[in-house]
């Protein structure tokens, strides 16, 4: 999340989040309203078709009831013919007796046979009307599929007369199509067995719907699902076991009603994606590319390339351009100041080297004066004092020499220092004549001048004591500087037997000086005297040399 482009993308997403939520909510509301509208249209279609169908059945029943009570026998056929002309939806109207004998008809009666007898037999005083679809011999003038409604007239509980109306199913289909409100739905009239009496039903199968109907008489609206998963609304008609069904087409996966909520959610997301890509590219082009160039220039300058600059950028924003110019101005000033500081440091380093050189030369003059004085003295104690003083002064002079000859004026390389000091001491003490050998081992860091001087003087005093008291008639001396973690141990060991007395160790000038050097360094002095030899150890923690750059 530290990348600027990602952060801007998150900010854009947060800014578009309310729009996304609102779009999804609004799409859901529209989808819900569409579903309510579809259901409402289906209900309106069903009720409009039912109203027409009910009106049609009621008209048929009224006409049949009128036939059995009002028409006279003499003018029966004429009256029925006029009735068909007035109601063209009827293909034929027949009047007869309970036994099935025809009294009169508007058109010749086709032989239907047992189905009509079964319809008459199913009549009762409580159920005087029966409607059913039948199959009759078809011709150019007569349809094969007909809808037959039979009415039975009862007197004192006895069936005395029947009337039947024959209707063309095609006309019923036209009637249902005219009453449709739902444009893409199916509408049909069917019976208890699922046989379609009229209307349009693309599936041509209402058996699943018919089988799902309640066993008892259907009193009100009934909702179910057909074999294709379409929602079906079923309403009862005035005719027994004849129903009207309206099917709402099942919404396809890619239908607008279903895709609308999804697209409403996708549009803000796609807008965010394009916005994120635009932010990514524009931020990289307008900001990050220039910042990368500035970062490269800064890193190059930090590595010591004083000529590193940002230079002219390729059509940057005004703020980035101002920042790049400020960086170049800063780099120029830093280089100028660095040059001034470098010149000043070089001058000071030169002066400091000159000071160390002059101190070393002055100490050499003092050593020369001591050498002149030594040649004039014959007193043994005086000569020893001059030699000891000359050795100490020579050690200090070598420290200053190591400083001005070193690449770093702050520290002294102790290995180089000892390699210079020991030949001087060998001559001063006459080590070769006394058959005394000295070895050195340095395993420590370079020491600062304030630390190297007391360490050097400590080595001079310890070596003087070893030569004078430990191995005056020959032997070996080991000088070791070893660093363990942050602690440095300076040890001088000879393989002789020291003739120091306890009083001498406490009151001798050399011992006092070595203890003083230990205190000056903030360390400890440890003396070990046994059969293997005499060992003096100085332990201290050196100061850390400040890092430059």
- Summarize pLDDT for 333-354 with one digit per residue, the tens: 988 888 888 888 778 877 777 8
Q: How far is CA 398 from CA 175, 349, 438, in A?
A: 129, 19, 18
Identity of the highest mean pLDDT range in 428-437, 465-474, 477-486 = 477-486
Q: What is the mean pLDDT of residues 134-151?
A: 76
Q: How far is CA 400 from CA 289, 440, 452, 487, in A?
A: 54, 21, 10, 24
More confident residue, 77 or 174: 77
Q: What is the mean pLDDT of residues 299-307?
A: 85
pLDDT at position 549, please?
A: 46
Domain annotation for the chain: domains and CATH numbers: 57-168 (3.30.450.20), 410-540 (3.30.565.10)
- Lowest mean pLDDT segment, chosen from 49-58, 301-310, 407-416: 49-58
More confident residue, 189 or 203: 189
**CA dihedral sign of residues 131, 61, 67, 91:** negative
- Summarize pLDDT for 104-117 with one digit per residue, the tens: 888 888 776 677 77
More confident residue, 207 or 501: 207
pTM of the model: 0.42
* 8 Å CB contact between 120 and 132: no
**Angle between helical axes of 256-283 and 4-69 (0-180°, round to 10):** 170
Provide the strand spans (E) within 65-205. Answer: 90-97, 102-105, 129-135, 145-155, 158-168, 186-191, 196-200
Distance of CA 173 to the CA centre of its chain: 61
Report how far residue 413's alpha carbon sits from residue 291's, in angstroms, rounded to the nearest whole number: 45
pLDDT at position 283, please?
A: 81
pLDDT at position 7, please?
A: 74
- Summarize pLDDT for 368-379 with one digit per residue, the tens: 888 888 777 878
Q: What is the mean pLDDT of residues 424-443?
A: 86
pLDDT at position 430, please?
A: 84
3-class secondary structure, 413: coil
Q: How far is CA 91 from CA 86, 108, 494, in A?
A: 12, 10, 147
SS3 for 88-117, per residue? CCEEEEEEEECCCCEEEECCCCCCCCHHHH
- Summarize pLDDT for 206-249 with one digit per residue, the tens: 777 888 887 667 767 788 877 777 778 888 876 667 787 887 76
* 8 Å CB contact between 363 and 400: yes
Backbone angles phi, psi at 90, to 5 degrees: -80, 130
- Lowest mean pLDDT segment, chosen from 1-5, 274-278, 395-399: 1-5
Report how far residue 458's alpha carbon sits from residue 510's, in angstroms, rounded to the nearest whole number: 9
Say how many Å lie between the first and final Cα of the chain, rounded: 34
What mean pLDDT is reported for the chain?
Answer: 79
Q: How far is CA 219 from CA 21, 207, 392, in A?
A: 45, 20, 130
What whole-number percentage of the chain has pLDDT above 70? 83
Report how far residue 190's alpha carbon sits from residue 205's, in angstroms, rounded to the nearest whole number: 10
């Amino acid at each position: 999340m530290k990348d600027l482009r990602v952060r801007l993308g998150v900010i854009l997403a947060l800014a578009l989040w309310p729009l996304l939520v609102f779009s999804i909510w609004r799409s859901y509301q529209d989808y819900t309203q569409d579903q309510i509208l579809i259901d409402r249209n289906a209900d309106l279609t069903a009720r409009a078709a039912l109203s027409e169908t009910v009106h049609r059945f009621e008209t048929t029943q009224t006409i049949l009831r009128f036939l059995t009570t009002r028409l006279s026998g003499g003018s029966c056929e004429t009256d029925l013919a006029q009735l068909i002309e007035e109601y063209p939806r009827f293909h034929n109207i027949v009047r007869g007796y309970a036994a099935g004998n025809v009294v009169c008809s508007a058109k010749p009666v086709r032989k239907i046979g047992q189905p009509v007898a079964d319809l008459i037999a199913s009549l009762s005083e409580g159920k005087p009307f029966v409607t059913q679809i039948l199959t009759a011999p078809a011709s150019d003038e007569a349809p094969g599929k007909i809808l037959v409604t039979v009415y039975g007239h009862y007197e004192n509980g006895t069936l005395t007369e029947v009337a039947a109306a024959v209707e063309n199913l095609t006309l019923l289909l036209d009637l249902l199509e005219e009453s449709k409100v739902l444009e893409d739905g199916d509408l049909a009239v069917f019976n208890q067995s699922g046989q379609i009496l009229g209307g349009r039903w693309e599936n041509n199968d209402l058996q699943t719907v018919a089988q799902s109907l309640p066993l008892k008489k259907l009193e009100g609206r009934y909702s179910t699902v057909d074999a294709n998963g379409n929602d079906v609304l079923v309403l009862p008609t005035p005719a027994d076991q004849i129903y009207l069904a309206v099917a709402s087409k099942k919404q396809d996966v890619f239908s607008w009603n279903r895709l609308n909520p999804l697209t409403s959610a996708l549009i803000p997301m796609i807008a965010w994606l394009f916005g994120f890509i635009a932010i990514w590219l524009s931020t990289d082009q307008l900001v990050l590319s220039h910042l990368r160039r500035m970062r490269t220039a800064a890193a190059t300058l930090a590595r010591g390339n004083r000529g590193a600059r940002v230079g002219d950028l390729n059509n940057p924003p005004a703020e980035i351009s101002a920042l790049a110019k400020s960086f170049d101005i800063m780099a120029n000033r830093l280089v100028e100041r660095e040059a001034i500081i470098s010149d000043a440091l070089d001058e000071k380093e030169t002066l400091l080297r000159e000071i160390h050189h002059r101190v070393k030369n002055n100490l050499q003059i003092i050593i020369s004066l001591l050498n002149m004085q030594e040649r004039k003295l014959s007193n043994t104690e005086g000569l020893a004092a001059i030699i000891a003083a000359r050795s100490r002064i020579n050690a200090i002079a070598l420290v200053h020499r190591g400083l001005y000859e070193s690449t770093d004026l702050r520290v002294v390389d102790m290995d180089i220092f000892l390699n210079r000091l020991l030949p001087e001491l060998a001559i001063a003490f006459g080590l070769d004549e006394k058959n005394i050998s000295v070895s050195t081992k340095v395993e420590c860091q370079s020491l600062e001048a304030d630390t190297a001087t007391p360490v050097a003087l400590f080595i001079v005093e310890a070596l003087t004591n070893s030569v004078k008291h430990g191995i005056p008639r020959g032997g070996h001396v080991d000088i070791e500087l070893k660093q363990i973690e942050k602690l440095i141990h300076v040890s001088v060991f000879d393989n002789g037997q020291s003739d120091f007395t306890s009083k001498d160790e406490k009151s001798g000038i050399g011992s006092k000086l070595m203890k003083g050097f230990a205190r000056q360094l903030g360390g400890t002095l440890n003396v070990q005297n046994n059969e293997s030899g005499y060992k003096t150890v100085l332990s201290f923690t050196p100061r850390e040399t400040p890092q430059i750059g």
